[in-house]
Structure 1
Amino acid sequence: MLSNKQQIEEANREVEKIKKEVEKNHWRLAYHLAPQANWMNDPNGFSFYKGEYHLFYQHHPYSPEWGPMFWGHAKSRDLAHWEHLPIALAPSEDYDVDGCFSGSAIEKDGKLYLMYTGNKWTGENRDTDLKQVQCLAVSEDGLTFEKIKENPVMTETPEGDIHPYHWRDPKVWQEGDYYYCILGSKTKDEKGQVLLYRSNDLISWEFLNVAAKGEGNFGFMWECPDLFRLDDQDVLIMSPQGVHPEGDLYHNLHQSGYILGTLNYETGVLDHGPFELLDYGFDFYAPQTTIDDKGQRVMIAWMAMWENEMPEQEFRWAGATTLPRILTLNNGKMVSEPAPELKALRQNEVSFENIKMDKELQLTGIEGECIELRVTIDAKEASTFGLKVRVNEEENEETLLTYQVEEETLLFDRNRSGKGPGGVRKAAISLRDNRLQLHVFIDHSSIEVFAQGGEKVMTGRIYPSEKANGISFFADQEIVIVSVEKWEMKQAFVEGPTNNVGGMNV
């Protein structure tokens, strides 16, 4: 078997060969992080280290389909501009031969440690024939990582009602004199839960307890947990698999959300409230957070969904991340707003104020496929109003954002958005002073909608034709567009210093 270093060199060469071709694709994102080529899923190891944000991700560098997982890597000084870096981890050891699965990062003694799940298939059945262990890799510069000789640092699940094969996605943090780690898990009869561990050196771990467990419609496996303090609350973010639809909720294959509570660090139990979604759109999974030098709690998620059609695969890439979002609490609910640093990407502003309209209206200069849009609408007497984006009348393409006043519901309709999956998602949201505020980010093949200052967010991938750049406002009665601001968005990716990897520059 090739060493970790050799596999990384080979994988980097593979990506380098086709990345220029991938860049030509008209669905290629300009200001969202996506792999330079081939497959991406969960963000991993999101951390603030030596003055820079580091984001790793699940990466298959050899095809645009899921495969044996490597860790891709990018970094940013400001959450707006990103630099691609060489691959950080490869599945090079017997304990991770079939994948370096998801995990997290922490700084210790000036070094950056990655904690991840090593995966090994033991047969054909992907649900029962697997061995998962928890592992560490370490770097002194945040670029080159070595797997530690003590790996794996966790080898067996604890005793009790804990599934013996499925425990993964460690999120590690420090509290007082100890390091803590939370892991996604499930019970033997398929109920999602999370496991809490403690260590004083990151290497020897003690199991504390099942910190939280699903009851009722709470899924059969909780993936990608993240636990942190926000204001005076402990927040557990996780991605439960197998939650059944309820009314307008839970219509994606898997969900991502949070619970608020208090973690007892002695007993290892989280006393918590109800589950709430973090995003009400189509494409949002495996969110992970970090805290930066400004004290901001920043979250990034995978902007895709398992088992969905991904038309970009035809062009040799797949998957992307959401924009970085700043998390705050307001009256016991999570608020997600786009990182303010993204304003650095704005250019060529166009704005209007106090426009009365009914039926349908286009405004000169309010259009585009790579833009940021801020809109405030006074509903007046309208019962339905909204906007159409990525419109191409010739191809009958449009993506609809519709507000229904009586139902107090925002709809995201991508049934005519072009190629790829369709569908409608709904978010319950109330007008404030009879007004609706939308903050919309459009990036070639994605839309993120922040409603009422981030009270609700809806994210989705769309795949329209290149000519689909129209925007129009509509209403069934007179409304007032109190304000609309549009900016074109610059390319977010910068060329960093030369990193010589395997005889090539990347």
Structure 2
Amino acid sequence: MFLVEWTKEERYKRLEEIPAEQYQALLEETTQSKWRQHFHIQPPTGLLNDPNGFVYHEGLYHLFYQWFPLGPVHGLKYWYHVTSSDLVSFESHGPVIIPDTKYDSHGAYSGSGIVQDNRVKLVYTGNHRDSDWQRIPYQIVAALESDKVTKKTIIEGPAPGYTSHFRDPKVWYENGYYYIVIGAQRTNSTGTIVIYESDDFNDWRFKGELGTEYNEFGYMWECPDYFELDGQDVVLFCPQGIEKSGDQFNNTYQSGYLIGDLDKETFRMEHGEFTELDNGFDFYAPQTTLGANGERILFGWMGLPDTDYPTDAENWAHCLTIPRVLSVENGRLRQRPLPALEKMRGAVETAEGYAMKHNIKLHPYEGSCYELIVDVLENESTEFYIELRVSKKESTRLIYNRADKRFTLDRFDSGALSEKVEGFTRSVVLEEDLTKLQIFVDESSIEIFLNNGEKVMTSRIFPRKDATGIRTSTESGQVYFKFTKYDLTVN
């Protein structure tokens, strides 16, 4: 059923309109994919993108993602709902936000969740197209009831001075007021974040823009998020249209953060530089919430708009990252894997010793679904290499240059990647010498946490089933490694 070219009519066909046997065939095709993940949230069919509506309420996490069920393209978006008590095992509830009103007739776009009046409420952008195919955005509140979803429009169209690119509301409550930040594009084609305020969750007042030093930084800002963390104000957003700069901003679209102090009366923010959240190939549209223990937890979309990957031919695309706990340390965000993920750990194997040039060691364990912790105990090399998912023809290479403190992820030989992807290497320079890596490898992805979350690199990879080995070597000099590998149990 894979379509090379999707027409407008096909992209906006409703799931409810297709025969049950046709959707069943899609499900079976997706299930048989050799690149289905084992411990990541992924769509049953079609395309997954932004995590949405992430909220914790009465012992349960609610998480949604945008979903086009009929193929690996962006079309008529639903919100697919999963819940979890621990963010390790998830229960699927299927599509909950369905584009069934005038105000979301052409898709339920991104948004967030909040507990209000002891109910989970979702605030999202409804995408409506008129007869001339002009977009009209509406901000909608949807309340989750036991057997239904009720919707109410709270903001109609863009505010004056902004284009129809006006979406992705993030809502929070503070000091007697509800606030919403929305990603926007000014009429001069520059990106920004706008703010609304309400004291009753019904009537919303436009308060202006979030004041930053980045007034002409890309043509659109998507998926804003705001929170306080460790005494600092943090703003996440995804600017589109940023020029590449050395190791920075090398993907099609970027995702990053500002840290500083936000004045809640003027909404002017004093802050540091915009910093990328993830330095890999596949990370976008992150969303956070407060967890059961007051920690700030993040999920991201492991993908990007306009990405061409081999799962497209199997009629599905993308997944979410593992959950990450955030902290502010020395003026920077750190991201660490959620500790509860340790519940997935099964059999453990260890190996340690020296890696040297001309002494490439194939470690005695293999696999395609594991957590690998690498301690760099001594490093006298100029450059060392760790290769994962290794076969005779394939490997995903991790390269560290000690002089420059530069870490590189190289997926040139990582299997079936299209020539259309945005390059095959990504690099990041660390503040401190590399001493520790924590790596999560799934059937078709890798997430690398460097120096206890100082930097993170996320990527999809598509190796063959027999690419399971682990190998180390150096350019010159020797490195003493300790490897700890945990097989990860499948949910």
* Cα distance in structure 2, aligned partners of 1:266 and 1:216: 20
TM superposition shift of 1:309? 0.9
Tell me the distance in 1 between the aligned counterparts of 2:315 and 2:253.
25
Equivalent in 123, 126, 129 of residue 115 of structure 1: 123
Residue 400 of structure 2: aligned partner? 403
SS in 1 for 2:293: coil
Q: Matched residues in 2 for 1:186 and 1:248: separation?
A: 26
Residues 11 and 51 of structure 1: CA distance in aligned 2, closer, same or farther (over 3 Å)? farther
Query: Does structure 1 conserve the Cα–Cα contact (< 8 Å) formed by 2:389 and 2:468?
Result: yes
1:131 paired residue number: 136
Matches within 5 A, 1:35-434: 35-122=43-130, 129-141=134-146, 144-148=147-151, 151-159=152-160, 162-213=161-212, 215=214, 218-355=217-354, 357-378=356-377, 380-393=379-392, 396-420=393-417, 421=421, 422-432=423-433
Alpha-carbon distance between aligned partners in 2 of 1:404 and 1:11, rounded to the nearest angstrom:
54
Matching residue of 1:500: none
Distance across 2 between alignment mates of 1:386 and 1:12: 51
CA distance 1:47–1:229, shift in 2 (3 Å): same
**What is the CA distance between 1:124 and its match in structure 2?**
6.8
Alpha-carbon separation, structure 1, partners of 2:86 and 2:24:
25
- Distance, in Å, in 2 between the alignment partners of 1:298 and 1:260 is 17
Cα distance change of structure 1 residues 360 and 460 upon mapping to structure 2, 3 Å threshold: farther
Q: Tell me the amino acid that sits aligned with residue 78 of structure 1.
A: D
Secondary structure of 2:106's match? coil
- Cα distance in 1 for partners of 2:107, 2:403 equals 49
Task: Verify the 8 A CA contact 2:390 2:470 in the aligned structure 1.
Answer: yes
Report the Cα offset of residue 204 of structure 1. 1.1
Aligned partner of residue 85 in structure 1, secondary structure: strand
Long gaps (5+) in structure 1: 1-6, 493-506
Cα separation, 1, equivalents of 2:24 and 2:117: 34
Cα distance, 1:356 vs. partner? 5.2
Q: CA deviation at 1:110?
A: 1.3
CA distance in 2, matches of 1:246, 1:376: 31
Distance change in 2, residues 1:430/1:53 (3 Å): same
The SS at the match of 2:111 is: strand
8 Å contact from structure 2 (residues 382, 477) kept in 1: no
Amino acid at match of 2:225: D
Separation in structure 1 between the aligned mates of residue 277 and residue 50 of structure 2, nearest angstrom: 16
* Structure 1 residue 284: Cα displacement: 0.2
The DSSP-based 3-state class of the residue aligned with 2:162 is: coil
SS at match of 1:313: helix
Q: In the alignment, what sits opposite 1:3?
A: none
Determine the C-alpha separation between the residues in 1 that align with 2:411 and 2:367: 17
Quick one: structure 1 residues 9 and 121, their matched pair in 2 at CA, closer, same or farther if it must change by over 3 Å? closer
Q: In structure 1, what is the equivalent of residue 4 of structure 2?
A: none
Aligned position for 1:497: none
Describe the superposition over 1:183-238 as per-residue Cα deviations: whole angstroms up to 9, x where unpaired.
00122212211011111222210111201356376211110000000011110000
Separation in 1, partners of 2:355, 2:430:
23
1:397 match: secondary structure: coil
Aligned-residue identity in percent: 36
Cα–Cα, structure 1 residues 446 and 356, in superposed 2: closer, same or farther, change >3 Å?
closer
Give the CA deviation at 1:15: 5.5
Instruction: Using the TM superposition, name which of 76-85 and 338-347 deviates more.
Output: 76-85
Q: Does 1:19 find its partner at 2:27? A: yes
Indicate conservation of the 8 Å contact 1:329/1:335, yes or no: yes
For residues 139 and 43 of structure 1, do their structure 2 counterparts lie closer, same or farther at Cα, with a shift above 3 Å needed?
same
Q: Deviations over 1:421-460 (max 9, x none)?
A: 351101111444xx52111111011010000111000001
Give the number of aligned pairs.
Answer: 473
Deviation at 1:137, TM superposition (A): 0.7
Which residue of structure 1 lines up, in the alignment, with residue 6 of structure 2?
none
Paired residue secondary structure (2:247): coil
- Are 1:32 and 2:40 an aligned pair? yes
Contact 2:236 2:257 in 1 (8 A): yes
Per the TM alignment, residue 10 of structure 1 is displaced from its structure 2 partner at its CA by 6.5
**What secondary structure sits across from 1:477 in the alignment?**
coil
Change (3 A) 1:124 1:477: farther
Say whether the 8 Å CA contact 2:96–2:149 is kept in structure 1: no
